[in-house]
Structure 1
Amino acid sequence: DQDTAVAEIRSGVDYLLAQEYVAGPTVGITGFCMGGGLTLQVALVEDRLGAAVPWYGSPLSPEQAAQVKAPVLGNYGSLDSGIPASRVKAMVEAMTAAGIPNDFTIYEGAQHSFFNDTRSSYNPEAAALAWERTLAWLRKYVAS
């Protein structure tokens, strides 16, 4: 269930931050599809995130979005029939109103799972741009 998954991910944060090779006080989190939704759920409760990057994850409600504890970069597809752009926009508006740094892109012509190169929904242009933006976001907010 979702609560168990969030708890397990938070245990992973504990583990990472205890490692000598982790220089900073925070880590980044990213996830795809269900993992994207979990990325957002963890960002609601975990203070030790420097950044969160959901990929086509189920959007938070506006009330939840206003409580996020980390800067969020979101990658979504305009043709994703399971995640209406209106829900993403409502989440973004709530984060922005709450002063939470965020940058969401709805990639035109991209479907759900547009980053997965083993599926017919793969969109190499959107995937490359989203990956570039993801790395830049993590460097900005997490890298020491």
Structure 2
Amino acid sequence: MCYDDNARPPVPDGADGQAQGEDLVLTAADGNRFAAYFARPAAPTGAQVIIYPDVRGLHQFYKELALRFADIGIAAIALDYFGRTAGLTARDDSFEFWPHVQQLKLENFFLDVRAALDYLRSHASAEGATFPVGFCMGGSLTILSGSDRSFGFAGLIAFYAGLSRPIAGNGTALEHADQLVYPLLGLFGGADQGIPVSQVHELEEKLRQRGLEHQIHIYEGAPHSFFDRRYSEYAEACADAWQRVRDFIAAHSHSR
């Protein structure tokens, strides 16, 4: 599990605190109803993100993360993975996520992504640069969805993406890395026991061979899930991660 119920995303510099958020129930093309959360900025920049959570799906950390993005002018929608198997039930610490993770299929996830993107593009910006932002399993899914040109992403942002575990019945993130068609920003903890630095370097090499624009940064001494404002010892890494995300979004929004 990436984040427990007490985890909270760091607050980015300059956040205005004026964003408004709302819980949603969206419907995918196959009829699946799933939970999502939309955060609308008071002063939109035109850029927007779709947030892929960790293995627990849409819980409070990601709703607050959507608000933090919106506080800096970036519209955000976060989606849940488990509408087909767990319905619209809560995703707090009591949620037994693993049986639902095992049933997750990439083609179904992509249907949900398209429904969330449709909502985002009709309620924020139809033409705005759009970036998936994924954490842990969501980081892996960011890489897996990065080979589909039809999503029209401007770039991919992955925090501590699991690289070697098969995801959604469709291989590993490392196996898909040489199929990416969008620039990638990857952020990793150097002390992450589940993602060896050697695997991160392997990811970099695959992207280099692919000729794909990428930025990979490893925070020395930082563990998995370091992006959490409870941990003052990682405050500098969190601030740097926010700045890298903002710079990446700005650079790839302006180039469109």
TM over 0.5: yes
Q: TM-score, normalised by structure 1?
A: 0.86
Shift of 1:122: 6.5
Amino acid at match of 2:159: W
Matches within 5 A, 1:59-78: 59=163, 60-61=173-174, 63-78=175-190
* 1:41 counterpart (134, 140, 144): 144
Q: How high is the sequence identity, in percent, across the aligned residues?
A: 32
| Aligned pairs, number | 141
**Cα separation, partners in 2 of 1:87 and 1:136, compared to 1, 3 Å:** same
Shift of 1:43: 1.0
Structure with higher Rg: it is 2
- 2:160 aligned residue: 56
The alignment's C-alpha RMSD in Å is: 2.1
Shift of 1:121: 8.9
Asked if 1:92 corresponds to 2:204, the answer is yes
- Determine the C-alpha separation between the residues in 2 that align with 1:2 and 1:104: 27
Asked if structure 2 preserves the Cα contact closer than 8 Å seen for 1:9 and 1:42, the reply is: no
Asked if 1:123 corresponds to 2:234, the answer is yes
The answer for unaligned runs of 5 or more in structure 1 is none
Asked if 1:106 corresponds to 2:210, the answer is no
- Determine the C-alpha separation between the residues in 2 that align with 1:9 and 1:49: 12
3-state DSSP of counterpart to 2:146? helix
Asked if 1:17 corresponds to 2:17, the answer is no
**Bigger helix fraction:** 1
The answer for unaligned runs of 5 or more in structure 2 is 1-103, 164-172
Runs (4 or more) in structure 1 with deviation over 3 Å come to: 17-20
- How far does the alpha carbon of each residue in 1:8-56 deviate from its partner, in whole angstroms, 9 at most, with x for none? 12332233334463434x4111111222111111112244110100000
Asked if 1:139 corresponds to 2:139, the answer is no
Amino acid at match of 1:129: D
Asked if structure 1 preserves the Cα contact closer than 8 Å seen for 2:162 and 2:195, the reply is: yes
